[in-house]
Structure 1
Amino acid sequence: MNTHQDTYRRKLSSRARIASRIRSGWSCCSDIASSVPYGLYWDLAERVRRGQIEDLRVYTIMDMSPLPFYQEDMGAQLKGFSWFSGAGARGAVNAGFGEYLPCYYRDVPALLTQYTRVDAFFAVVSPMDEQGYFSFGPVGSCTESLLKKSDRVFLQVNHNVPRALRGPLVHISQVDGLWEEAAPLPTLPPVSHNALSATIGGLVAEEIPNGATIQLGVGAIPEAITEALRSKHDLGLHTELLTDGMVDLIRCGAVTNEKKPLHTGLTVATFGLGQKVYSYIHENPAVELLPVSYVNDPAIIARHPDFVSVNAALEVDFWGQVCAESMGPAHVSGTGGQSDFVRGAISSKGGKSFIVFPSTARNGTVSRIVSQLSPGAVVSTSKNDVDYIATEYGIAKLRGQSLSQRTRALIGIAHPNFRDQLTFEAKKRNILV
């Protein structure tokens, strides 16, 4: 009788042999962050350089290490397409040899299904269990859609990948080929803990009531918020990204998830990053890694009362338009899930959405609160959805306010060095009289 182990051994190969099975003209995909088999992509690049294959397209979400298809010498023979950009994709897009796909993160599974051919899906998974299943570890994201869409599935089996009990699985019978390769999982870069971030974090934390369900973005300020929330109780987590700081909130008892009307008692995320996260989700039935089309759905978010979302921005104008993904016309990242959670939070009973950032950039020489967004800046959250803006100088409530009221509130939380100039510009435009 054929066993799962027999099938495993029959499909087991080397990374180089898996790379040799990829054909010219194929469109290949990986899911977010820890799901990317970086070594395989470098093997494919070597085959391209040798003239063995050509015209490959690769789709990624949030590249966290260098990838060959975001390097200029690959030309059009191995080209990267990014749904949300890390440093490599960002540089390639701005230099003209990489492509960015505008989207809300919640829509990527549908966009992949409707508009993208997927000849091969590459992923990094945990070792196979006794029933023949592999776990994708800290990733829900778009994995289920990719499994259904792709013509072929190739897996890197990495013993560092945690086994998520409530997350997507793939059976050995669905796999076309696999190889074993241990590699460290990606983590977020360390953030600098400073007084400014702690001030903003403390201001926002005061606005989060006990029993609230929260979503936090990435960076020093969200991390400061997690530290400031440790004295709270009965918080819930329904978040795009699960971080080490959120795990600390669970372990200290601030997060119980018991007040959530959906997935009561469970932490919900669509992906996770961090060594504490990887340890926490391993064989833990209290964590669910669910598809982004569900986790980031504003209608699902809105069903949680007192939902609070916190996300970052690069600049905000008097209208309340939020740019979080470009520096003027220069591409930085992508919309991600910011708009999803802003819309969900403002539709939640008692919910609040915060856009947070230091009042200045470039060592205090530039105000992040501006009269008009920089020419070419991309609007990530619209003026119609924005709720609260927070800097180290306070919190401005914009939702439900007129243009002049918004402008006064924003000037009030701008850095003092720029308030006179901002007031002058507002009067020049007849916003303030």
Structure 2
Amino acid sequence: MDYSKEYQEKLISAKDAAAMVKDNMWIDYAWSANTPVAFDKALAERLDELNEIYLRGGVILWEPEVFKKDPKGEKVVWNSWHAGGPDRNRINKTPGGFYNPLRYSELPRWYRENCKVDIAVIVTPPMDKHGNFNFGLSASHLMAVIEVADKVIIEVNEKMVTGLGGFEHEINIKDVDYVIEGENPEIATLPKGSFGEVDKKVAELIVEEIPNGATLQLGIGGMPNAVGSLIADSDLKDLGVHTEMYVDGFVEMAKRGKLSGAKKNIDRFRQVYGFAAGSKEMYDYIDGNSACMAAPTSYTNDARVIAQLDNFVSINNAVNIDLFGQVSSESSGLKHISGAGGQLDFVLGAYLSKGGKSFICLSSKFKNKKTGKEESRIVPNFEPFSVITAARPNTHWIVTEYGKYNCKGQSTWQRAEGIINLAAPEFRDDLIKEAEKMNIWRRTNKR
């Protein structure tokens, strides 16, 4: 069947698409690398005609033109499901940026049951011979967005990769209202998380806990990237992937023959992911690769799905951890950093898995840029207004360069001792004093 006539009938300019935006509309800007470019530029050019509009998106990899045109946040209210760098700046520095707290697994359902979307704009590769537009690098929650949107606009970019499914990873021309042909810019990349000696030490402690045939989830950042690199150089085999975010570490493992997926209980031989952001090498690897399986986060992040995968290993970062084993990964005080994402989903799912383990990793200390002094990432109490991402009953393994500790089922005094032993030595005495004040330290504890 030839879909070219219907395609041409729905083809409009970015300027005409942006002209549909009216005051107080909710506009969905898709997700990460699928964030619109041509539409965004056209909308920025007519912001002077508007009073206030509401945009949703997340993990954006470049600063949108509407942000530049409205630097004080007077007209464009950005609502982020998870913050990348530009989201973070908008949230922390203007009254025109806000974070929407939600577990990533809940996002598709939340759209379907609660969200108003006047216009949804999604960047995709060109339409295929079956009249389908693939969601490229972000299956995520985009089908749910489309299902509730009053108008669906596809912005075609010939350089966007094709992420095979899976399910909920493409839309047919019959369900599209308008098509924009953009200028085909290069797909935005995310620098590989660099890692140093501390990251390597943490990675070594985690990798020795991973059995052959395990299924992995890696978060973003230096430490998970170090784990991926170490696995690539290890003797591990028949590993699988089931993750919300596909990162460069998986490509390194795949090219070294570590990822067969043969031992997975479900989706055997497939590397399952919700969205991808990383290097061009990674995009080229995903493009049309049947070993990779794009799926919505209502599947990738569902603890009930994760629990079906034996020996599931989840590896994520944190900002701070307190002596109760509470994990703060979203903010430092009022400074917003990222979001809830899927951390709690995978902490819960990994523990429910037969033989599964979740690891929260962090360096023991950092240098405060304002004071120039080193500070402990393990703290008695979080800075006021810091957000707790994983509550203490859910925390499993905590890892720093000084060791690892399994918090699950341990009493408050046992946790205090185990967690303090993960802190940098120069901070331990002060942490013990604070633990004594908090009545979570016994005199018989090791000093």
Q: CA deviation at 1:140?
A: 1.1
Separation of aligned partners in 2, 1:378 and 1:284: 38
Separation of aligned partners in 1, 2:172 and 2:282: 24
Letter in 2 for 1:77: K
Q: How many aligned positions are there?
A: 430
The corresponding residue for 1:290 is: 295
The corresponding residue for 1:88 is: 86
Separation of aligned partners in 2, 1:226 and 1:20: 46
Q: Superposed, which structure 2 residues align to 1:344-383 within 5 Å?
A: 344-362=349-367, 365-383=374-392
SS at match of 2:349: helix
Q: Could you give the per-residue CA deviations for residues 295-347 of structure 1, whole angstroms, max 9, x where no partner exists? A: 10011101111111011001000110000000112221110000000000011
Q: CA deviation at 1:75?
A: 4.2
What is the CA RMSD across the aligned residues, in angstroms? 1.7
SS at match of 1:119: strand
Q: CA deviation at 1:45?
A: 2.3
Q: Structure 1-normalised TM-score? A: 0.95
- On the 8 A contact 1:58/1:69 being kept in 2, the answer is no
Q: Does 1:384 align with 2:388?
A: no
The corresponding residue for 1:3 is: 2
- On the 8 A contact 1:69/1:80 being kept in 2, the answer is no
Q: Could you give the per-residue CA deviations for residues 377-399 of structure 1, whole angstroms, max 9, x where no partner exists? A: 10000100000110011101111
Q: Could you give the per-residue CA deviations for residues 42-97 of structure 1, whole angstroms, max 9, x where no partner exists? A: 32122122x2x343211112122112555654644321111111223223323332
- On the 8 A contact 2:38/2:155 being kept in 1, the answer is no
Q: Does 1:174 align with 2:175?
A: yes
- On the 8 A contact 1:68/1:74 being kept in 2, the answer is no
Q: CA deviation at 1:361?
A: 1.2
Separation of aligned partners in 1, 2:302 and 2:10: 37
Q: Could you give the per-residue CA deviations for residues 179-234 of structure 1, whole angstroms, max 9, x where no partner exists? A: 22211212222333311111111111111111111101011111110011122101
Identical aligned residues as a percent = 35
How has the CA–CA distance of structure 1 residues 75 and 33 changed in structure 2, closer, same or farther, with 3 Å as cutoff? closer
Alignment match of 1:327 (pick from 323, 332, 337): 332
- On the 8 A contact 1:215/1:240 being kept in 2, the answer is yes
How has the CA–CA distance of structure 1 residues 8 and 90 changed in structure 2, closer, same or farther, with 3 Å as cutoff? same
Q: Structure 2-normalised TM-score? A: 0.92
The corresponding residue for 2:202 is: 200
Q: Does 1:188 align with 2:229?
A: no
Moved over 6 A (4+): none
Separation of aligned partners in 2, 1:430 and 1:117: 49
The corresponding residue for 1:343 is: 348
Q: Could you give the per-residue CA deviations for residues 377-430 of structure 1, whole angstroms, max 9, x where no partner exists? A: 100001000001100111011111111111111111100110111111112222
Letter in 1 for 2:179: L
The corresponding residue for 2:262 is: 258
Residue ranges of structure 2 left out of the alignment (5+ in a row): none
- On the 8 A contact 1:32/1:139 being kept in 2, the answer is yes
Residue ranges of structure 1 left out of the alignment (5+ in a row): none
Separation of aligned partners in 1, 2:383 and 2:19: 47
Separation of aligned partners in 2, 1:101 and 1:22: 22
